[in-house]
Chains A and B, each alone.
Chain A
Amino acid sequence: MEDIEHIEKEMKLIDENGVRLDGRKFDQLRPIRIEAGVLKRADGSAYIEWGGNKVLAAVYGPREAHPRHIQDPARALVQCRYNMAPFSVSDRKRPGPDRRSVEISKVISEAFSSVVFKEQFPRTSVDIFIEVLQADAGTRCAGLTAASVALADAGVPMRDLVAACASGKIGGVVCLDLNKEEDNFGDADCPMAVVHGTGEIVLLQMDGHLTFDEFQKAMELSLGAADRLFELQRDALRRRYSVTLEEILRESPPPVAPPPEPEDRDFAPVEEPGPQDEAPPRDEDFGPEGI
C-alpha cells in the first residue's frame, strides 16, 4: 500500500525544464508514419504507426447493409468496429468486444458519419474496421486518423479528412499526445477529432479533470496537432498513387537509346510522351462508352 503511494509521488512525468519522460516538450507529437492502401482485399485501407501504437484500418463499401432491418431508406449507415488484438497490450487482452471497445466504435462511427456524404448511398453501409496491433495510449486517435485515410483511399465521398489527437494534463502541465505512462499516471486525457477544413470537432471525450482554462489550452494544442496530422494524411494518400506514376516513368525508355529487350512481358516499356503526345485533356480519354 505504502509503496504505491510512494511511486506515484516520485514519478515525475515532466521536469522543471518542461521535458517529458520520453524527451518531448509539452507541444510535441510522438513520431508518426501513415501508409495508405496496405490491404488488397479491402476497398480502402491504411496503416499508422504513432509512437508505440500500430494500427490497421480497413474500409468496405458503400455495400448492402445487413441485416436488412438496419438499412436506412434515406442515407447510408457508417459502421465502425474498433478492436484490440489480444497481443496489443502487455497483459493478454481477452479477445472480443468489451465495454471500452464498443464505446470507441460508437464515437468513431459518429465522427465519420458527420463527414461522409451519406445521402448519396441510401440503404447501404460503409464499414470501417480498426484493428489495434500494438497499443501505447492514444489508439482511438491513431485509429481514427488511419480510418480517415482508408475512407479516402476507398473512394468514399466525404466532406473532408478527419484527424484526431489527444491532449492531457501531466504534473499540472497541459501536454499534447500522452503516452502510456503519462496516460496512466497523469491527471487528465482528452481526445479530440477535428475536421480539417472547417475546424469542426467531431469527437470529444475526457478522462480526468481540466479547468476551463486548461481545457482551452488542450484544445489549442489538439487543433494544432490536427493540422500536422492532416499533412501526414495527405502525403500518405498522394504517395499511394504517385508510386504507380513513378513506376511508369521509370519504365519509360530513355529518349535516344534503343529500348532494351524486356524479358518480362508484364513490363512492356511505356511510350515516351512526345510533343504531340502530351497529356490530352482527361475528357478525351474517357470517350463515349461502348461495349
Chain B
Amino acid sequence: MEERGAALRQIVIPGEAVGGPGLKPGPGTFKSGDQILAAQLGVRTEHEGRVSIIPLNGRYIPQRGDAVVGEVTDLGPSHWLVDINAPYPAPLHATESPWRVEFGDTGRYLKVGDAILAFVLSVDEIKRIQLTMQDRDARKLNGGMLMEIAPTKVPRLIGKQGSMITMVKELTQTRIYVGQNGRIWIDGPEQGAAAAVRAIHFIEERAQAIGLTEAVRDLLEKETRGTGVSS
C-alpha cells in the first residue's frame, strides 16, 4: 500500500511549498521570496526546471486557440453570443463564421440553442473573448447530444495524442467532439452513445488512476459485447 501510494501523485494545497531556488514557477504556482508556492489544490509536476500544478478542480478559463463546444444563447444583427461554460460572454462575429452573412440575417445560420464547435480567436487583458469558426474543424453540430465534465479532466479524456478519445470513438462507433471547456458532443447509435457517456464518466471519476486506458477498454468491450455495436 505504501509503495503503491507513492505511485499515485501527491496532492498539494494552496500555500504549500512546491519548489525552491533554481526552479521556475509555472501555471498554478506563484513566487514568494525564494520559494515557489502552490496557488491551487492540485498535483505537482516538474518539467524542464518549471514547477506547475495540475488543478483537480476549477472553472474553464478560455485561452487563445482552444477548441470549445458552445451553445448559441443570443443573436445580434452581426454576431451570435455563445455560452462556452466560461465566466465571460463569448461573441462569434458574423465575419468569423464560415458563411457569408447579410447584416441582420444571423438567425438563418445559427439559432438560439444550436451547438457549435468553435475556436477561441483571442483573449485580451481584461478577458474579452472572441470566437472564430474560420477553421477546418469548426462546425455547427447537428443532432447528437451534449454532456459536460470538469474542464480539468479534459486532457485525461483526450489522452496522449488523443489515444483515449480515439479508443472510445472506435469501440462505441460514435462521433465525439471534446471541447477544452469540458463540453462534449456525442453522436451515433443509441447503444454506442450510451456506452460512450458511461465511459467518459468513468474516465472523469478516475482521472488519477494508472492504467486507465486499459480499464476503459475493458469496460467498453464488456458493454458493447453482444449489442452488435462493436465489430
Contact = CB atoms under 8 A, between A and B. Distances in A.
A289 interface: yes
Most chain A C-beta atoms within 10 Å of own C-beta, residue among B57, B117, B163, B212: B57
A265 B215 CA distance: 11
B180 A155 contact: no
A121 B88 CA distance: 10
B215 A64 contact: no
A60 B82 CA distance: 21
B100 interface: no
Given A238-B11, A238-B13, A270 B59 contact: no
B43 A282 contact: yes
A98 interface: no
Interface string B132-166: 00000100000000000000101110111111011
Given A287-B155, A289-B67, 20 more contacts: A62-B61, A117-B39, A152-B41, A154-B57, A161-B15, A197-B15, A241-B41, A248-B209, A265-B222, A268-B215, A269-B218, A271-B210, A271-B211, A272-B211, A279-B9, A282-B9, A285-B156, A286-B156, A287-B163, A290-B166
B136 to A, nearest CB: 11
A152 B12 CA distance: 10
A161 to B, nearest CB: 6
A234 interface: yes
Interface string A270-284: 111100011101111
Interface in B177-231: 177-178, 180, 198, 202, 205-206, 208-212, 214-216, 218-219, 222-223
B156 to A, nearest CB: 6
Contact of A63 (B11, B32, B59, B166): B59
B87 A159 contact: no
B89 interface: yes
A161 B161 contact: no
Contact of B206 (A117, A244, A283): A244
Chain B interface secondary structure, helix, strand, loop or mixed? mixed
Contacts of B57: 43-44, 153-155
B55 interface: yes
Interface in B61-87: 61, 67, 87
Given A238-B11, A282-B45, A289 B180 contact: yes
A287 B161 contact: yes
Interface of B: 1, 4-5, 7-9, 11, 13-15, 28, 30, 32, 37, 39-43, 45, 47, 54-59, 61, 67, 87-89, 117, 125-127, 137, 152, 154-156, 158-163, 165-166, 177-178, 180, 198, 202, 205-206, 208-212, 214-216, 218-219, 222-223
B185 to A, nearest CB: 10
A265 to B, nearest CB: 6
Contacts of A64: 87-89
Contact of A121 (B125, B127, B137): B127
Contacts of B4: 249, 273
A62 B54 CA distance: 18
Interface in A116-170: 117, 120-124, 152-161
A144 B56 CA distance: 22
B55 to A, nearest CB: 5
Contacts of A285: 155-156, 159-160
A155 B58 contact: yes
Contacts of B47: 281, 283
A155 B160 contact: no
Given A61-B87, A281-B47, A155 B55 contact: yes
A291 interface: yes
Contacts of B154: 289
A196 interface: yes
A159 B13 contact: no
